[in-house]
Chains A and B, each alone.
Chain A
Amino acid sequence: MLLTHLGLLFSAAFWLSRCFKGMGRWFFIGVLFFPPIFSHSGFIVKDVSFTLSYLFCISLLTFYTIQKKPLTISALISIFLILFYGTAVKYQAIFLLPLLSFWIAYCMNPLSTCLKIFIKGMGIWGFLWGAIILFNAWAVPQKDHAWQYVKLYDLAAISLETGEDLIPAYSKSLHFSKEALTINFNPVRVDELVFPQNALLVKGKNDEERNHLWHTWFDSVLKHPKAYLKHRYRLSKNLLTLSPIKSFHKIQSNQEAVSGPIKKMLYLLEDLGIMEFLQLITSFYIYIPCVFLYMGLGWFAYRRTRTPYGISLFMMNSLALCPILVLFVFSMASDAPRYLYISACCFHLSHPFMLMCWKSLRKSNTLRVKR
């Protein structure tokens, strides 16, 4: 499985490096060991599977965009297969699929009109979405409607913020009380409220309860938008500031599992401030202004000089931003930085594209101030 993951990561780096001459190619070897990308490449989890599958598809699409060649049948089949796996492995991936579908439609024939690309893109999106729904229905005939956890978590947060009891009666377990809710509510994840045996909140058991829960949530958000946004902002902020590297000093449990010399070296690294530096560069929040900047630059470069690097830069950074927006609405936990692994990979792999866009703008004299 690790071989598959690393195969996807290195294939992505290979296809991206084929878009450059000279120094650009060497960048894609070094960047694989850059902490934000390297730190999760050894994990076997669905978030990494999703990220690396998407990254492979992005790299192939980038290659064909830069070459200005229509996608070959073999490339199209491999993109569809890997995209199917990448989307099926993580539910939130479905929200990123439209962006990639439109990009695939563009790469199938770069000279098509916008309308044709839009129709083709919608078709690809519908086809893949349908295939995933059918697969999931076949694999898991009985659904447990896990989306309700997010709504219950939001309702609990709004209730605590406003002091108003918004949680429907059927979602309260026997252990529920206002005091218990205050004690067990964790601002970074829903787990303590819904997963323990003596959970305070339970999901709706039938369609009627589920529909009611959804409407209760919707009305509560409209009634208390400030409390809802505050809760969501807190969750997103925590996710963005997280780093996969934790301070060794602060961890109390399980320290005996680490052998003596390694523990000494880790303490030394902390004392030298290296771990702090690694934590800083692996948190995504410091890159957010750059993501917007890169998107703007990509768009501007494409509009002014028609450079294909502009399309790739814009798309890669849109795909970096999209998960943040999706998680702002749908996340029920923000305790693992791997949720934003795709954002980190897309952003850091787009640096050479930014340089190419900058170069093409300078070459076309667009950036020169007229006197």
Chain B
Amino acid sequence: MGSRKITEARRIKPLEEKKSQCYKISMNFNLKNQSHVLWWSLFSIAFLVDLFIWWPGILRPDSMGQLSQAQQGAFSGDHHPPIMGHVLVPFKRNLSLTRPHASDSPRAFIQRCFLVESMF
């Protein structure tokens, strides 16, 4: 009887371990959990900071070409896939302004650090 209990316990334990490893790690937003609130706040701030630094995005000459092809409705062959051009068209008003910032702000500084490749 005793040995049976031990074997059952041996069988159940790894299963429980597996379950705890696999199913309890999902994180849902819980306002009562301070750690969750802090994580979400930082995550949202990180998103806003990233958006602020790069807004409205940096277009490369390749993308400009794709956009103009899509605007004219004439894709010149299969050198560039056409879908990017189609996706860019609704944003064309915003994208025409897309270039690195020329001011002295910290945002411009960070952009300059990482965008030297695209600027020169």
Which residue from A21, A29, A43 sits with its C-beta under 8 Å from B25? A21
Residues of B within 8 A of A1 (CB): 57, 87-88, 91, 94-95
CB neighbors of A among B86-120 (8 A): 86-88, 91, 94-95, 98, 102-104, 108-109, 111-120
- Please judge, given known A-B contacts A1-B91, A146-B78, whether A259 and B103 are in contact too, CB under 8 Å: yes
Q: Which residues of A contact B21 (CB under 8 A)?
A: 307
* Contacting residues, chain A, for B87 (C-beta < 8 A): 1, 49, 85, 89
**B43–chain A nearest beta-carbon distance, Å:** 6
Query: Among the listed B75, B102, B117, which residue makes an inter-chain contact with A140, where contact means beta carbons less than 8 Å apart?
Result: B75
**Taking A139-B86, A144-B78, A246-B120 as contacts, is the C-beta distance between A43 and B58 under 8 angstroms?**
yes
| CB proximity to B under 8 Å, residues A1-43 | 1-3, 5-6, 9-10, 13-14, 17-21, 25-26, 29, 32-33, 35, 38-39, 41-43
Contacts of A45 in B (CB 8 A): 59-60, 62-63
CA–CA, A245 to B47, complex, Å?
23
Minimum distance in angstroms from B89 CB to a CB of chain A: 10
Chain B interface mostly: helix
Is the pair B82, A139 in contact by a Cβ cutoff of 8 Å?
yes
Whether A2 touches B120, Cβ cut-off 8 Å, given contacts A45-B63, A67-B23, A89-B83, is no
Question: Quick check: is A135 within 8 A (CB to CB) of the other chain?
Answer: yes
Main secondary structure, interface of A, reads helix
CB < 8 Å neighbour of A262 from B55, B75, B86, B112: B112
The size class of the interface chain A forms with chain B is 35 or more
> What are 16 A-B pairs at a CB distance below 8 A?
A2-B54, A10-B43, A17-B27, A20-B25, A26-B42, A33-B46, A38-B50, A43-B58, A46-B66, A66-B22, A88-B81, A136-B81, A143-B77, A144-B79, A244-B116, A246-B120
Which residues of B line the A interface, CB within 8 A?
21-23, 25-27, 39, 42-43, 46-47, 50-51, 53-60, 62-63, 66, 75-84, 86-88, 91, 94-95, 98, 102-104, 108-109, 111-120
